[in-house]
Structure 1
């Protein structure tokens, strides 16, 4: 029976083959590590994108609302009223505003102010635009109301304040109540 061990020179051949296999395994592990790193990078990007989508959907679903129901009157010109605060990740907000008055005539307007950018929409610009202001007149026995809505472009990610403003042209005008609602628009 022949010796099952290969001759010495064959040992060197096996050692070379073993060294080659080790190099292949090492390079395979590096490739797998690179693939894993790329997969992790893509996964992180997808998670970040999903987080942005969730943040935007949450912001859109969150309506900010404020109202007053006490009688306000005895002034001519402007009176500041209730306000809401929000931040828009989309760069757009939807605003609804209005109210009721009795005895006289008045306007419901709003303003939008950014913490960094200052006035974005002024109450005066709304007063001068009949399509955007809410104008109401009424008698002593009837309290008419009105409302309107608008989409406004705003800076993304900036803290905003949306405020309701009352404007009276007669000192006996009485505002019975008013409201403002703001939310992120898609």
Structure 2
């Protein structure tokens, strides 16, 4: 039994009946990286003043607000797919095309600072909940990614982790490559 498995078992014993957990078939290590990335991104976001949210990011032509929206809308897209899988419904496309994605980000980047922070927080919590509630077999359901390529929902955890860690660097407020887990330093 790995340290992560032992820690998970101890947590379940402490929390008792009624608590909900990731399915045993869930990609535990990838989810750990995504959840750690969420915490790191949230910390870097929390270090920014409201005015600094509208300053340039490391992404050419994008403010930090654009990066925040891109991160939040990715979580929403994954959530929609996972919710559909859990409900046994047809899996929706990841985005409604690249032009729609960029239009949503451009509009979202005009939100007030408080709304941007809530957008990130809500999208992150919602995604964590739908991942947790996805039945084991649901992780093998195939859906389209942001580029329209098919992949199983297992992959969404690593997609999310990569985007969060890269997004923290894109905020351009002190995140360093050496802060990232080894998997994302290349």
Q: What is the TM-score of this pair, normalised by structure 1?
A: 0.23
More helix, by proportion: 2
Query: Could you say which structure has the larger radius of gyration?
Result: 1
Query: TM-score, normalised to structure 2's length?
Result: 0.23
